[in-house]
Amino acid sequence: MAIEILIVDDNVDIRNILNELILDAGYKTRVAANYNQALSEIDKKMPDVAILDVKLDKGDNDGIELLSHIKSKNKDVPVIVITGHANIEMAVNSLKLGAFEFIEKPFDQTRLLNFIKRAVENLNLKSQNKDYENKLFYSYELIGDSKNITNIKEQIDKISITETRVLINGPSGSGKELIARKIHKKSKRNNKPFIILNGALLDSGKYELELFGEEKENGSLSYGALEKANQGTLLIDQVSEIPLEIQSKILRVLIDQKFKRINGNNDINVDVRLICSSSKDLKDEIKLGNFREDLYHRLNVFEINIKSLNERISDIPLLIKYFSNKISENYNIKKLEIDDQDSYILNHNWQGNVRELRNLIERIAILQPDTKEKISTIIKESLKIDNFNEKIGENSLSVPLKEAREKFEKEYLTIQLKKFNGNISKTANFVGMERSALHRKLKGLGIKEFN
């Protein structure tokens, strides 16, 4: 597919020179002679690369305004700014706004072509990275055979065929975004946009702009997440961080099914499926006055709760095998041989949950250790914990033998029970006890059995 370059210059001679130069280099072109023509061309179809003259027919900074407009719609489009009235401040401002390069008239044709070549290479690289990331993320599955994950898989199958709003609760890194993507992928909207708005990452003054977009005085538009997700799915991640005044506007959109852009006068109707996620308990946030109760009930039509990795230890061996295969395949390296019963891993406090585990395995893949001992060393150094037995021993040095033994047994059996997802028979078989004896031991140690 040929790269298309938009040329914007009010000087017909320069416009023609640029057009011929770029066509001869093997690219497709579109041209605009003034600000309004340029705006129309950009809004009609975003170019792959843009070359903008700063001063057009409306003012001294027309090209800078067009640069801002392009970046508001697609920040990855390379924009080369050209001008015959250059100064340092203008150059700095254009680069701050995201210009790929800044060049003065009269320009050297070879230099300009080099800029264009680099811009296209940069565009292709970003496109490849996005394709890789999307392929990698969309290919990930929800892995686990714990009761929690099994229930969630069943819930996804049931609600994906509906249009109901969903609230996903769970700690950071546990897989909330993956669940939302799976719902979208299995829904009737799967060939439409999946847009993410992260409430925790936005500046406090940008929530409204990011959600609703803006109509600027010069007539240009910036589109918010609601319009970008039209006919698709919008995930508001960390919805608990959205300010109260914006919460009320989201509530109004859910009620009216329409909204106005900032500075806009016309209602915008959109068809969006809304999914929200939170690492905080929204009921607690309601009590604290940080979240609207009426919005909570609008969002929480169907609730999915994913537990921390520490509460589903039985999923860890499956996740290790899955990520080892996936990452080896994606990096095109030898399959990783990671001991999924490694006590360092099973006994680690996974505060970062599945994301932390995946990062650990990716780190091992990058370092490419050639022995199990080296893999074990990387795990030990990465997790920064002592060996399980040493850890238990150190904690037990200051107590009597009976108490130390009970402490060890309690921690050991709790981990084994979690590892086998509460299955008494499998746990008993692994630890070498009769099933009835294990029941008595668990009761004596005060360990609560679970299914």
Model confidence over 294-306: pLDDT tens digits?
A: 999 999 999 999 9
Give the 3-state DSSP-derived string for 91-134, with helices as H, strands as E and coil as C: HHHHHHCCCCEEEECCCCHHHHHHHHHHHHHHHHHHHHHHHHHH
Residue 204, pLDDT above cutoff 90: no
- Whether cis (ω within 30° of 0) applies to the bond prior to 106 is yes
Are residues 401 and 439 located together in one domain of the fold?
Answer: yes
Last residue of a domain, one of 81, 102, 127: 127
Task: Tell me how far apart the alpha carbons of residues 427 and 420 are, in angstroms, rounded to a whole number.
Answer: 6
The enclosing domain of 46 has a CATH number of 3.40.50.2300
Residue 152, pLDDT above cutoff 50: yes
Are residues 376 and 264 located together in one domain of the fold?
Answer: no
Are residues 150 and 224 located together in one domain of the fold?
Answer: yes
Are residues 258 and 314 located together in one domain of the fold?
Answer: no
Residue 221 lies in a domain: yes
Are residues 424 and 332 located together in one domain of the fold?
Answer: no
Are residues 109 and 14 located together in one domain of the fold?
Answer: yes
Are residues 195 and 339 located together in one domain of the fold?
Answer: no
Assign 389 a pLDDT band (cuts: 50, 70, 90).
very low
Nearest of 147, 143, 153 to residue 420 by alpha carbon:
147
Residue 175, pLDDT above cutoff 90: yes
Residues 6+ apart with CB under 8 A from 211: 197, 224, 225, 226, 246, 249, 250
List the domain range (segments joined by +) for residue 181: 140-307
Assign 397 a pLDDT band (cuts: 50, 70, 90).
very low
Task: Tell me how far apart the alpha carbons of residues 420 and 199 are, in angstroms, rounded to a whole number.
Answer: 37
What's the total number of domains in the chain?
A: 4
Last residue of a domain, one of 307, 328, 344: 307
Are residues 294 and 320 located together in one domain of the fold?
Answer: no
- Looking at per-residue confidence, does 201 or 185 come out higher? 185
- Looking at per-residue confidence, does 343 or 427 come out higher? 427
Assign 235 a pLDDT band (cuts: 50, 70, 90).
very high
End-to-end CA distance of the chain: 56
Task: Tell me how far apart the alpha carbons of residues 188 and 330 are, in angstroms, rounded to a whole number.
Answer: 29
For 56, the token pair is 């057009």
Task: Tell me how far apart the alpha carbons of residues 180 and 156 are, in angstroms, rounded to a whole number.
Answer: 9
Are residues 403 and 366 located together in one domain of the fold?
Answer: no
The answer to whether 176 touches 168, Cβ cutoff 8 Å, is: yes
pLDDT tens-digit readout, 251-305: 999 998 899 999 988 888 889 999 999 999 999 999 999 999 999 999 999 999 9
Are residues 157 and 303 located together in one domain of the fold?
Answer: yes
Average pLDDT across the chain, whole number: 84
Are residues 189 and 66 located together in one domain of the fold?
Answer: no
Last residue of a domain, one of 307, 327, 362: 307
The answer to whether 66 touches 39, Cβ cutoff 8 Å, is: yes
pTM of the entire predicted model: 0.61
Assign 242 a pLDDT band (cuts: 50, 70, 90).
very high
